[in-house]
Amino acid sequence: MDETSSYSMYYFTTTTIGIISVVLNLLWVVKDLGGFAWSSKTSQFNWHPFLMLFSFVFIYSQSILVYRTGKRHMSKPNLKYLHAFLHVVSFICAVIGLHAAFESNVKGERENLHSLHSWIGIITVIIFAVQLLCGLSAYLFPVLESNAKALFFPHHVFYGTMAFVLAIITTISGVTEMTMLVPNYSTLPSVAYLINIMGITIVMHGVLTLYLLFKPEFGTLPLANN
pLDDT in tens, 54-78: 999 999 999 999 988 876 678 888 8
pLDDT of residue 141: 83
Q: What is the count of structural domains for the chain?
A: 1
226 pLDDT higher than 50: no
pLDDT of residue 72: 67
Report yes or no on 83 lying in a domain: yes
pLDDT of residue 2: 76
Q: Is the pTM of this model over 0.85?
A: yes
Q: Which of 99-103, 107-111, 114-118, 205-209 has the lowest mean pLDDT?
A: 107-111
Determine the residue type at 17. I
Q: What is the DSSP letter of 222?
A: P
Look up the domain containing 150 and give its range.
3-220
Report yes or no on 143 lying in a domain: yes
Inter-CA distances, 203 with 55, 167, 186, 208, 210, Å: 15, 11, 21, 9, 11
Determine the residue type at 177. E
Q: Considering Cα of 88, then 93, then 97, then 99, what sign does the dihedral take?
A: positive
Are 26 and 220 in contact by the 8 Å Cβ rule? The answer is: no
Report yes or no on 41 lying in a domain: yes
Report yes or no on 225 lying in a domain: no
Cα–Cα distance for residue pair 12/54, rounded to 1 Å: 17
Closest CA to 168 of 110, 120, 111, 107: 120
Are 170 and 121 in contact by the 8 Å Cβ rule? The answer is: yes
The mean per-residue pLDDT over the stretch 125-153 comes to: 88
User: In whole numbers, what is the pLDDT of the chain averaged over residues?
Assistant: 91
pLDDT of residue 224: 57
Report yes or no on 204 lying in a domain: yes
pLDDT 10s digits, 154-211: 999 999 999 999 999 999 999 999 999 899 998 999 999 999 999 999 999 999 999 9
CATH number for the domain spanning 210: value is 1.20.120.1770
Q: Which of 84-88, 130-134, 170-174, 213-217 has the lowest mean pLDDT?
A: 213-217
